[in-house]
Structures are given as structure tokens and as C-alpha cells.
Structure 1
Amino acid sequence: MEEWLTIENLERLEAYYRTLGPFIGIFLPLLEAFLPFIPLVVIVVANVNAFGLFWGFLFSWIGTVLGSYIVFLIVRKYGRHPRLYFFTKNARVQKFIKWVDMNGLSPLFVLLCFPFTPSVLVNIVAGLSNIRKHFYLAAIVLGKMVMILLMSFVGHDLTALIKSPIRLALSALAIIALWFIGKAVEVRLNKRVERDLRNIDKR
């Protein structure tokens, strides 16, 4: 692995990725919205290193916004179909939907800003809720912009990261910190959902 991970090999890989053009830079983050096990941070880092900070960020942002909004629209149209009953009636999903309808768009926007939060769940819940389409699109555009900017700045110069162990370690710490912050926000929102719904049931 160490023998393969050289500056020359990384540059060749970046050059090959660049030859695939903007399509691949937009398509991969779009695909991640449907297949959340694909690591979005790896796609963003590949984009900004192959196409530069601005274009790499732009392609990643366009792709993830399109993917998230398409998932939202599909769920909005077909999410209550009887064949999807087993999923949409999941207790956690139903609680989140009810709470979102009570509290509006703000908590979803916060979740969309952080990497590693379950964006597919956010898109599904938004699709099943009563949030208006254009409001959710605005939340995706702004929230994903924050998230992709964070990822882009952390990993935009992979060659320099490999050359500088200190910078590499700081970047790794930044990614880990973003993961913990995102999970902390998610846990806090889940607790708030449970508390608010319990208070409603007591009334």
C-alpha cells in the first residue's frame, strides 16, 4: 500500500479522473444520495483535487443537491405507496416526520450542513412531511453548500497533505471532529424529538 501511495501515482490517478470530465464529478455525488454507503467525503476530495477547488466544489455541490432533491421528490410522490408501507411506518421515521411538521425546516437545515449525518433519512423524512418543495430545495442548496465547502477546504490539496504529515494529521482530525459534531447534533435532535413528542402526548 505504501509503495502505491506515492505523489506520482496520485497525480496519475488525478489526471485519469480529470479526463472523465465534469459528468463524473457531478454523477458520483448524485449517486451517493441514493447509495449512502458510498463515502461522499472521498468523492469531494477526488473532485477538488482533479478539477481544482472551485470547480471541484461546484461539481460536488451540484451533484449532491440534485441527488438529494431527486430522492425528496421520489419520496414525496411515491413514499406513501402501500408497497413502501413497511419502511415509511418505521417508528423512528414517523416520530421524525411528526416533529418536523411541528418545528419546520430549521432542524433539517442544521443536519444538512454536517458531513456524516444521515442525509438519506433527512431527505426521506422531508419527502413524507408537509414541507413545501421550494423551501426544502432552498434548505438543500444552502445546507449542502456549507457541508461541501468544509470537505473541499479540508482535502483540496491531496499532494500537499501527503508531503506534510502534520497537515495530514490536522486534516484527519478536522474530519473526525466534523463526524463527532454531526453525530452530537443528531443525538441532540433525537432527544429533542423524543422530549417534544412526550410533552404532546401528556397534554
Structure 2
Amino acid sequence: MQKLIEDNQFDTLLKQLLKTYESFGPLPGLLLPFIEAFLPFLPLVVFVITNAAAYGLLEGFLLSWAGASAGAIAVFFIVRRLGDKRFFVWIRHNKQVKRVTHWLERHGFGPLFLLMCFPFSPSAIINTVAALSKISMYQFVLAVLLGKTVMIFSIAYVGSSIASFAQNPVKAIVVGISISLFWLLGKFIERFLHRRGKMGAK
């Protein structure tokens, strides 16, 4: 009985918080994933889950996808436009960065798409390095739109069912493990890029 009361109180509080978030309209759902592209320490996964829980699976997914994709493309465009500035010229001539940019130029769309599919891959680094490379805007935009579709939909699906996950400990554990595995995979990708840069420096 005690547990049932606690569960009901949690559900009520959760619904109230989500209704308050939704009452601001679609702007926060779009703006927060967009800002994350410029401030990568912000939790994109939390934003996507919140959007899906507040707006529903379809609308939450579309808002998150549009915001995150627009942010990544904006970062790419800005860095490419400012590529001749001293700071970016210095970064481009760094041996580690040069190695990674050459690797991206050789492989093109494929690795970019895969990197965009994982929620914990270092997206800010990927966007910046891609902009400093000679990869075409078309390839980058296509990789972002398709890769983030896979990544954001998988997270949004969890977010849209957040209440049922909260009530079912087994589901919550499975989701927690899955998110941890994604995080580890993202760290592996980050180390892989770092190793490629070190190999080029030798």
C-alpha cells in the first residue's frame, strides 16, 4: 500500500512537471537541443527524453531532431566560414587534427553517419573537425540528418514511455544498461579519434 501511494505521488509529480514544460510551447523543445550543439556539456539525452515525455513520441522526436540537426549544421557552417581565422588555422595545422580530417575526407559519409548515430559520441568535436576538413557540406548535412534520426528516435522512444519505465524496475534497469553501453561506445569513439590523431603525429 505504501509503495502504491509513493508510485502515485511520483506519477502525479512527473505529470505536473511535464505539463509545466509543455506549457511553454515547442520553443524549449527545439531550442535546448540546438544550444547543446554549441555547449556540448549540456545533456542532449535528457533534453530528448524530456521532449518525448512532454510532447509525445512523434512531436518530441521532431522537435529534438530539428533542433539538434540545425545546431550541428550551424556549428559546421560557422567554423567553415571562420576557417581562415588564426585560431582555426592553428587548429587545422595541428598534426592530430590533420590526421583525423584526412581520415574523414578519405571515408566521407559512412563514418560520419555512424558517429552521428551514437548519443554519447563527441558531437562538438566531430562537427568542428568535419568543418575544418574538405568534406562537402552535402555529405555532412546528409550524415547529420540521417544519423541523428536514428540516435534521437531511439532516445525519444524511451522518453515517450518514461512513466511505464519508472513503474517497471526491469525496464528501467535495461534502459539504464543500454544508456551506459552507449556512453561507453561514445568514449571508445572519442579515444579512437584521439588515437588516429596521435598516429598521425608520429
- Which bin holds the TM-score, normalised by the shorter protein? 0.7 to 0.9
Instruction: Say whether 1:97 aligns with 2:101.
Output: yes
Tell me the residue number matched to 1:141. 145
Distance 2:191 2:90 in 1: 24
When the two chains are superposed, the root-mean-square deviation of aligned CA atoms in Å is 2.3
Which has the bigger relative contact order, CA under 8 A and spacing at least 6?
Answer: 2
Name the stretch that deviates more: 183-192 or 91-100: 183-192
TM-score, structure 2 as length reference: 0.87
User: Unmatched 5+ residue regions in structure 1?
Assistant: none
Instruction: Say whether 1:25 aligns with 2:24.
Output: no
1:157 to 149, 158, 161: 161
Distance 1:71 1:83 in 2: 15
Q: Residues 189 and 125 from structure 1, CA distance in 2 versus in 1: closer, same or farther, beyond 3 angstroms?
A: closer
Q: Which amino acid aligns with 2:165?
A: L
Contact 2:116 2:147 in 1 (8 A): yes
Tell me the residue number matched to 1:35. 39
User: Percent of aligned positions with the same letter in both sequences?
Assistant: 38
Instruction: Say whether 1:169 aligns with 2:188.
Output: no
Distance 1:189 1:93 in 2: 9
Name the stretch that deviates more: 113-122 or 184-193: 184-193
Distance 1:86 1:12 in 2: 50
Q: How many residues align?
A: 196
How far is the alpha carbon of 1:79 from its aligned partner? 2.6
Contact 1:154 1:174 in 2 (8 A): no
Tell me the residue number matched to 2:114. 110
Which aligned pairs between 1:3-18 and structure 2 lie closer than 5 A?
A: 6-18=10-22
